């Protein structure tokens, strides 16, 4: 083995573990947001605008049962951990961990967006800006 390939192995492993850690943290944040924060926003929307006109994305997220979010996040976490213990390809592991990190954060951003857009509209309409 050459010196460069020996140096590359630990770097792939470290990069892969960093991305795995970030992906797991992203999934845990997604799990918390979807099972704790989203229901609280549902109550806020009901208090401010009973039967109010919410965007379709917000309605879809609010109407999805918390168990679905929880199950999906837990399955994704279990799959990442299982994959980490079974994978032999360092490049594939790094790519999958990076993809999981990106997907978890995009989903988290979509949920946050869907919860805050109606709030901004409500505040603007109450201040006469709408």
The DSSP secondary-structure symbol of 51 reads T
**Which of 23, 107, 103, 100 shows the shortest CA–CA distance to 57?**
107
| pLDDT tens per residue, range 2-29 | 555 566 667 878 888 898 899 999 999 9
Tokens of 32: 């918390």
The domain ranges of the chain are 23-126
| pLDDT tens per residue, range 54-94 | 888 998 999 989 889 889 988 998 988 888 888 778 888 88
Cβ–Cβ under 8 Å, residues 70 and 27? no
Q: pLDDT over 70 for what percent of the chain? A: 88
| pLDDT tens per residue, range 30-41 | 999 999 999 998
């Amino acid at each position: 083995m050459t010196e460069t390939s020996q140096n590359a192995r630990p770097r792939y492993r470290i990069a892969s573990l960093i991305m795995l850690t970030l992906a797991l943290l992203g999934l845990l944040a997604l799990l918390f947001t979807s099972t704790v924060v989203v229901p609280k926003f549902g109550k806020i929307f009901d208090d401010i605008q009973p039967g109010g006109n919410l965007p379709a994305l917000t309605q879809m997220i609010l109407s999805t049962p918390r168990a679905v979010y929880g199950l999906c996040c837990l399955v994704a976490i279990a799959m990442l951990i299982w994959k980490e213990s079974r994978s032999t390809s360092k490049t594939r592991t790094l790519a999958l961990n990076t993809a999981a990190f990106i997907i978890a954060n995009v989903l988290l951003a979509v949920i946050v967006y869907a919860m805050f857009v109606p709030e901004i509209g409500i505040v603007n309409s109450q201040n006469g800006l709408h």
